[in-house]
Amino acid sequence: MKSHMAREDINRIMVEHGEISILIEQLRLAIKGGTREAVERERTAFFSFLEEHFNYEKGLMEFINYPHVSVHISEHTKLIEICQSVIDGSCSNAALASSICKQITGYLNTHTDSFDFPLMHYIRQKFFI
């Protein structure tokens, strides 16, 4: 992989993290609004994008033979499960909208700090960027 491609991969990961934050905010507004259809729509949008993002990271890690690929992938699986249980456990309670979304943001930020940043650091070093 050429260094400009590696840079594009890092940029894409960061852009997608921003998009995930936007989807969480839209989910928060839907839960707060209390309409079941809107919650379902935003919930689906959030999880589809999250899975797409995780698949992208997985493909990238496999492509570059990242040494920590399996632990990173299993963290993605755990994250989806935990986000599902937080959302589905209380998404019918509009008063909990902010706290639900803060919890999800917290889990995702912890993942980014502990797994995505080390991956990006590895890419920068390996491809001299």
Nearer to Fe ion, 43 or 53 (CB): 53
Closest to Fe ion by CB, 85 vs 114, is: 114
Does residue 116 belong to the site contacting Fe ion (CB under 5 A)? yes
Nearest CA-CA partner of 68 in 105, 17, 108, 120: 120
Per-residue burial over 100-129, b if 16 or more Cβ lie within 10 Å, else e, is: bbebbeeebeebbeebbeebbeebeeebee
9 binds Fe ion (CB under 5 A): no
Could you report how far apart the first and last alpha carbons of the chain are, in Å? Answer: 12
* Minimum distance from residue 13 beta carbon to Fe ion (Å): 6
The interface region with Fe ion, picked from 25-33, 61-69, 92-100, 111-119 by CB under 5 A, is: 111-119
Residue closer to Fe ion by CB (options 9, 116) is: 116
Angle between helices 36-63 and 3-33 (to 10 degrees): 160
In the bound complex, what is the minimum distance in angstroms from residue 85's beta carbon to Fe ion? 19
Q: What angle do CA 96, 102, 105 make, to 5 degrees?
A: 140
Closest CA to 27 of 127, 109, 102: 102
Binding Fe ion (rule: CB under 5 A), the pick from 57, 61, 79, 97 is 57
Query: Total number of residues binding Fe ion (CB under 5 A)?
Result: 3
Q: How far is the CB of 16 from Fe ion (least distance, A)?
A: 7
Residues at the interface with Fe ion (CB under 5 A): 57, 115-116
